[in-house]
Structure 1
Amino acid sequence: MTNLTAISQASSYVKKHIKENPAIGLILGSGLGVLGDEIENPTIIPYSEIPHFPESTVSGHKGQLVIGTLEGKQVIAMQGRFHYYEGYSMEQVTFPIRVMKDIGVGSIIVTNAAGGINEDFNPGDLMLITDHINNMGDNPLIGKNDEALGARFPDMSQSYDRAYIQHAKDCADAIGLNIQHGVYVGNTGPTYETPAEVRMLRNMGADAVGMSTVPEVIVSRHAGLRVLGISCISNMAAGILDQPLTHDEVIETTEQVRESFLKFVKQIISTLPQ
């Protein structure tokens, strides 16, 4: 489990660089970091400067915190996240969540690029995550539990805040955006799934698949944070369209949905009940 001293040292460093503590944390996935560029009066802190922070190694992830105002709300955004497949431990992957909580964040909006398993989806769709399946074979809460961070056995029956999901649906209606909703399954990666694995995941009840998000959401709930999850369906998973999958395709699709993604998340934040 995460060291309280390390959390305190990292959060203290961030606090020294900001005037007002943020209330909303944003985790921006592959190709979606553009939202961080929309933050007004930004304070930008590279991960490399923050004590105990890992560094993002994935193309399309800038690797920095951006803190400032977005739609009138104080936010802290991760432009680039950490992944288990990069060789980081689950503790390292989720360390920024602990720091955000210590700074005073109460809500997390987590985004990702995901492969569509539900055959009714199309590349470029935005999907509200209603639940997830942890298929990573690991859990960030394994090990000795510190009650100061959260309960030994946290409830995950409402991992994704139902009031936030309804709020996001209302926001989509307000701006005339057609969105999907469904279950996200987290795999370790870095390989994309085989067609047989995709069929298995569909039978398990998954609508989209990716290589992130699940650890961060587990720790967010352990820490008592409210969570909203949004997936950008960047491609259809293996075996559906019978074509090879590439990271370039992921980035290309997220570029295409940039405007609708920005408009949607800004609408959510501007009217988000605290």
Structure 2
Amino acid sequence: MANMDVLNNIREAASFIRGKIDGEPEIGLILGSGLGIIAELVENPVVIAYENIPHFPVSTVEGHAGELVVGTVAGRRVILMKGRFHLYEGYPVEVVSFPVRVMKELGVKKLVVTNAAGGINTSYEVGDLMLIKDHINFTFRNPLIGPNLDELGPRFPDMSEAYSKRLRQIAREVAESQGVKLQEGVYIGLLGPSYETPAEIRMMRTLGADAVGMSTVSEVIVARHAGIEVLGFSCISNMASGILDQPLSHEEVMETTEREKQKFLRLILGIIPKL
């Protein structure tokens, strides 16, 4: 895709969304498998199906609704992706991260990303919430490859603080005030869609990963390129392959996120006013 096409596509998508909403959103949220429940917090929501937004792809995964929700949460203007896009669906990396570009064009300054992840750290339990302090990009794809558009960000963006220390401190304080146990660790993002083998999980633990999933890293790279501050959470929906003697399934992921959603909702609701 030529550079001007990218810019035009971002602007056309943002212009379409702007025409449907009042005011400028300041906080973006990208919700992972089973976590779309957060959309229920939005007051006076404007709901826009992805398929109606110019140049937006459409999510094909169970638990990902495929719509933007724009409105107010705890007094803050938010734009929320109910369902995200994944490399394993066959989308190029720049398409997976395209909505973050559109959020930036609309005025978003902070981004909250959530995902359902497998626990690699053996001290974790199913149902734990993990604050993401860093990530390892094992997709071996980078959405910034190709000519750089200076209008969007620098050629070589700094990733030394991919997940904002300031925002993580806010999250820890809110979790403590609510009595929510919050793990903190490193997320490793893979291509998928197959789950990892036990040998791969042992390798990832050696590398310093605490949780594994199939999303998030591309979106965060683009957000940091765009100068957006990022806060990330993983819901530990299952223990990764080989830790417990049982097979893995997407149904288990959905069941866990359903069970833990109220805890997660309260936490997000407590954090948003302080961002």
**What aligned pairs does 1:64-103 form with structure 2 within 5 A after superposition?**
64-103=67-106
RMSD over equivalenced CA pairs, Å: 0.7
Counterpart in the other structure of 2:268: 265
> Helix, strand or coil: the match of 2:97?
helix
Per the normalisation by structure 1, the TM-score is 0.98
Counterpart in the other structure of 1:30: 33
Runs of 4+ in 1 over 3 A off after TM superposition: none
Counterpart amino acid of residue 27 in structure 2: I
Separation of aligned partners in 1, 2:261 and 2:130: 14
Separation of aligned partners in 2, 1:148 and 1:38: 33
Per-residue CA deviations over 1:99-135 (Å, capped at 9, x if unaligned) read: 0000000000000000000000001000000000000
Offset of 1:271 from its aligned partner? 2.0
Per-residue CA deviations over 1:200-245 (Å, capped at 9, x if unaligned) read: 0000000000000000000000000000000000000000001000
Aligned partner of 2:49 among 20, 40, 46: 46
Residue 140 of structure 1 pairs with residue 143 of structure 2:
yes
Query: Which segments of 5 or more consecutive residues in structure 2 lack a partner in the other structure?
Result: none
Counterpart amino acid of residue 132 in structure 1: H
Counterpart amino acid of residue 245 in structure 2: D
Counterpart in the other structure of 1:197: 200
**Count of residues in correspondence between the two structures:** 272
Counterpart in the other structure of 1:152: 155
Counterpart in the other structure of 1:165: 168
> Helix, strand or coil: the match of 1:48?
helix
Per-residue CA deviations over 1:172-216 (Å, capped at 9, x if unaligned) read: 011111110000000000000000000000000000000000000
Per the normalisation by structure 2, the TM-score is 0.98
Counterpart amino acid of residue 167 in structure 2: Y
